[in-house]
């Protein structure tokens, strides 16, 4: 039996350690991981816990990230609680198997430290890998700081393993800004955390020899469409309710409140930034300052990226006059993901705000208070004019001549 770890009421953990500790407390049966960069610290810490007697489960070191997720798929189909961690290029290599995991409805938890994708080679943070996963059929939750990385990783097990969900869940955090920055974190005790997640409930495990089962059967044009439709239906209709229930239960236990879409100063906001990750906290600070200057600024931050919380986004932005959607991933020939999703959601509502798109922070480029201040001022101008006063898509924090489109 694994030893329990005595934790302080307040620990100083970076985002990696927060994810590692949540994985440890979940009492996972199998972690299959490729323990070199880019997933290093999350599984390195986990390996350390194992070596020191804090973990009972198996830790399988494999030859690649593709193999890591493959090992997770096998172990989850066999009937175990399973998780792993990755980032960047490793995430990219995992992509093929991400679709296998979700198609087989295996509630694997994946801790993702969001980092750039090469070329050019870069180890710093942006949202390219997170965006790459958005059609893979996983539930994607986004943490904006270390505490949230811990909380959401714990909650991810309960969400994914819910009988009505049975889908894999990614918990994202920003590379370096969150993953390597030590912050105060309030953890649960080992007993409380495990009690919150509960024992793993097997559903149709392959190791039930009395009832042999094949996962991910071969289908062609006569069956494939129905299976994909079933998965999409469950993503669209079942996740939101279950996730909100888990968020509510977590709030009751810890006092920390989570929403499918987080809102800051949105009660009377006239202009709003829609953003993800650590940017949200910087934007919150700037919004406070803008309000002193008379600009009614607010922030809307999707806690869940997939499935896309269409109704909640529509509601959160139902009163603003101008919106900036901030994408930290190069759309490579389109408008940014957040712009497209937010615009599509709002098109179904009554509010018709001016919406613009900013590409920022690629490859770990700093995104500063000044940048966000400029954006809020541009939004204020848009709101006052009632039309776009800037190009539709702008690159911000980029050297050289100003780059913008449309």
Q: Which residues sit at the interface with other proteins, rule CB under 8 A? A: 103-106, 166, 204, 209-217, 219, 222, 225-227, 229-231, 233-234
**Residue (85 or 235) nearer to other proteins, CB:** 235
Report the nearest approach of other proteins to the CB of residue 240 (Å): 17
Q: Give the tokens for residue 122.
A: 């870069």
Phi, psi of 272 (to 5 degrees): -140, 145
Tell me if 338 sits within 8 A of 96, measured CB to CB: no
Report the nearest approach of other proteins to the CB of residue 96 (Å): 16
**Residue (45 or 102) nearer to other proteins, CB:** 102
Report the nearest approach of other proteins to the CB of residue 135 (Å): 17
| E runs forming strands in 70-143 | 82-87, 109-114, 139-142
**Residue (214 or 348) nearer to other proteins, CB:** 214
Q: Which helix (H) or strand (E) holds 387?
A: none
Nearest Cα neighbor of 324 from 386, 396, 368, 379 is: 379
The CA angle 349-355-359, to the nearest 5 degrees, is 135
Close Cβ partners of 396 (under 8 Å, ≥ 6 residues apart)? 358, 359, 360, 367, 371, 374, 375
Tell me if 317 sits within 8 A of 348, measured CB to CB: no
Report the nearest approach of other proteins to the CB of residue 188 (Å): 30
Tell me if 293 sits within 8 A of 133, measured CB to CB: no
Report the nearest approach of other proteins to the CB of residue 167 (Å): 9
Would residue 298 be called left, alpha or beta, if left means φ above 0 and alpha means ψ between -120 and 50 degrees? beta
**Residue (104 or 275) nearer to other proteins, CB:** 104
Report the nearest approach of other proteins to the CB of residue 208 (Å): 9
Q: Which helix (H) or strand (E) holds 310?
A: helix 310-316
**Residue (222 or 366) nearer to other proteins, CB:** 222
CA distance 271 to 274: 10
**Residue (121 or 217) nearer to other proteins, CB:** 217
Report the nearest approach of other proteins to the CB of residue 159 (Å): 15
**Residue (224 or 257) nearer to other proteins, CB:** 224
Report the nearest approach of other proteins to the CB of residue 81 (Å): 16
The maximal CA–CA distance of the chain, rounded, in angstroms, is 70
Q: Give the tokens for residue 20.
A: 């590692």
**Residue (211 or 399) nearer to other proteins, CB:** 211
């Amino acid at each position: 039996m694994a030893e329990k770890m005595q934790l302080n009421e307040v620990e100083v953990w970076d985002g990696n350690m927060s994810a590692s500790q949540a994985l440890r407390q979940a009492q996972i049966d199998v972690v299959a991981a490729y323990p070199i960069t880019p997933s290093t610290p999350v599984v390195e810490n986990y390996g350390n816990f194992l070596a020191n007697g804090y973990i009972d489960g198996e830790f399988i070191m494999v030859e690649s990230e593709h193999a890591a997720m493959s090992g997770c798929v096998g172990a989850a189909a066999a009937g175990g609680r399973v998780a792993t961690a990755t980032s960047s290029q490793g995430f990219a290599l995992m992509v093929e198997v991400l679709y296998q995991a979700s198609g087989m409805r295996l509630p694997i938890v994946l801790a993702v430290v969001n980092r750039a994708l090469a070329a050019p080679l870069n180890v710093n943070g942006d949202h390219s890998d997170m965006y790459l996963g958005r059609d893979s059929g996983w539930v994607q939750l986004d943490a904006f700081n270390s505490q949230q990385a811990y909380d959401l990783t714990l909650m991810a097990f309960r969400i994914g393993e819910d009988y009505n969900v049975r889908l894999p869940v990614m918990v994202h955090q920003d590379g370096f800004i969150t993953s390597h920055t030590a912050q105060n974190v309030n953890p649960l005790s080992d007993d409380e955390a495990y009690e919150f997640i509960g024992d793993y409930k097997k559903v149709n495990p392959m190791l039930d020899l009395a009832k042999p089962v094949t996962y991910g059967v071969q289908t062609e044009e006569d069956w494939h469409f129905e299976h994909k439709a079933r998965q999409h239906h469950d993503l669209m209709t079942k996740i939101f309710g279950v996730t909100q229930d888990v968020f509510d239960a977590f709030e009751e236990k810890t006092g920390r409140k989570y929403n499918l879409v987080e809102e800051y100063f949105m009660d009377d906001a006239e202009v709003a930034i829609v953003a993800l990750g650590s940017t949200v906290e910087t934007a919150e600070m700037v919004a406070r300052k803008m309000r002193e200057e008379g600009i009614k600024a607010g922030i809307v931050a999707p806690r869940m990226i997939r499935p896309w919380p269409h109704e909640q986004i529509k509601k959160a932005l139902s009163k603003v006059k101008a919106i900036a959607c901030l994408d930290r991933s190069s759309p490579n020939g389109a408008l940014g993901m957040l712009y497209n999703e937010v615009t599509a959601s709002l098109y179904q509502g009554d509010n018709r705000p001016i919406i613009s798109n900013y590409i920022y922070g690629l490859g770990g480029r700093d995104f500063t208070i000044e940048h966000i201040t400029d954006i809020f001022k541009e939004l204020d101008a848009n709101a006052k004019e009632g039309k776009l006063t800037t190009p539709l898509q702008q690159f911000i924090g980029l050297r050289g001549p100003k780059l913008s489109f449309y």
